[in-house]
Amino acid sequence: MRLAGLGMTDSAALVSGACCVYTSSEGVTMRILVLLGLCLMLSSLRTSHAAGPVPPTLDEVRREMGIPSKGDLRGQKDAVGFASTAAQMAEAWNASSAGPAPESLGNVPADSAWGVICPHDDFLYAGRVYRSVIPTVKAKRVIVLGVFHGWKKFGAREVLVFDDYRAWRTPDGELKVSSLREALLSRLPKGDVVQSDAMHDSEHSVEAVSYWLKHQNPDLEIVPILVSTMSFERMQDLSARLAEAISAEMKARGWNMGKDLAVVISSDAVHYGPDFKFTPYGDGGVEAYMKACAADRALLTGPLAGVVTTDSIRRAFETFCDPKDPGQYRLTWCGRFSIPFGLLTLERLAASQDRKLEGRPVAYATSVGWPQLAVKAEGMGLTAPSNLYHFVGYPAAGYTVK
């Protein structure tokens, strides 16, 4: 008997039908047993549906990695769209400085950035935008706030996801995880965090940015954090506690933001086309492309720019998603949680020093509006095609204080 697809109406009909099977006095006992059995089965089904999908195991996740993690060394999720060898990374770095340059939205911050927004898409598509903003990060340690694309299948909601690795593999060698991670975990409430290597192994948004940071600074250390889906109110609470923990650790260690620590926020901009289920200006074409890019620029030069306040961050959040149901996109920036969370954290860090956080849009490009990087190193390619009916935007912004 198949019950898995039954709704409540079907279930009621099933029980009602079972009650009519045994009508004689001799069948009373059997009737009771059937009813009890059906009730137990339906109860089990309801419990199963309420619990949601079973998250993938660590072994299952690692089987899908380009270079699987081993022991205390995190591997590489995507070995196609991103560099996996030193030669590939060096060529991507050098090619990213060649023209045509991404669209300039303003001057690069002169001071060491407290934080930046940086894309995480294929290097051949987004390399020039990575290169436009990564050099503003001069800190010795970086908290990388990644997008958690797979939060639904893991059931991760309203938490920050830390890893447990000693180091991350990069094309240029091992990238050490800072001792700051353990210090932050010890200061944050247990309900605020999850520590899961499986979740981090399933995600590419941290590794993509980290490879550019490592290539620029071989001695860099990172604290990788994935930001799951959450309401704005929960985001305010979590970011306040994270900022407080960061401030306490910086004071104890004699660190300064910008010099010793920075925050890199990973996010691509619009994902446009029927494949992304986002076509507000039609399925695609030149006009749809121009309008989608204009909406991205308006966000970068609007609520993500200038003096950052809780209100401006809320406006960005409500542009990205439905505040009543944050899991639903309004604008398909995959960093709809990482960006507002990161800016709230930075704003609170600035306020703790009686200073104001200021955003500067730096650059913008798309996967279809610029030629791919001229990288000839064997093994690096593209994870998806790009055209006027399937394209992604790439944002870059820097954040300093005044």
How is residue 86 written in tokens? Answer: 């030193």
Question: What backbone phi and psi angles, to 5 degrees, belong to 334?
Answer: -70, -20
Question: What backbone phi and psi angles, to 5 degrees, belong to 176?
Answer: -70, 140
Against a cut of 0.75, is the pTM above it?
yes
Helical H segments across 106-150, by residue range:
123-133
Task: Quote the crossing angle between the two packed helices 232-253 and 338-351, to the nearest 10°.
Answer: 50
Name the helix (H) or strand (E) containing 200.
Answer: helix 197-201
Fold of 58-401: Protocatechuate 4,5-dioxygenase; Chain B (3.40.830)
In the prediction, which pLDDT does 93 show? 97
Instruction: Tell me how crowded residue 103 is: count the other CB atoms within 10 A of its CB.
Output: 19
> What 3-state DSSP class applies to 70?
strand
Parse the chain into domains and list their residue ranges. Answer: 8-51, 58-401
Q: What is the rounded CA–CA span in Å between residue 164 and residue 177?
A: 9
> What 3-state DSSP class applies to 100?
coil
In the prediction, which pLDDT does 51 show? 54
Mean pLDDT by 10 residues, the chain (402 residues): 35 40 48 48 43 86 98 97 96 95 91 95 98 97 97 95 98 98 98 98 98 98 98 98 98 98 98 98 98 98 98 98 95 98 98 97 98 91 95 98 96
Q: What is the rounded CA–CA span in Å between residue 3 and residue 336?
A: 38
In the prediction, which pLDDT does 398 show? 97
In the prediction, which pLDDT does 324 show? 95
In the prediction, which pLDDT does 31 show? 55
Residues whose CB falls within 8 Å of the CB of residue 296, separated by 6 or more in sequence, listed in order: 269, 270, 364, 393, 395
Question: What backbone phi and psi angles, to 5 degrees, belong to 162?
Answer: -100, 160
In this structure, are residues 216 and 262 in contact, taking their beta carbons and an 8 Å threshold?
no
How is residue 310 written in tokens? Answer: 């809780």
First-to-last C-alpha distance (Å) of the chain: 68
> In 3D, which of 339, 357, 326 has the Cα closest to residue 296?
339
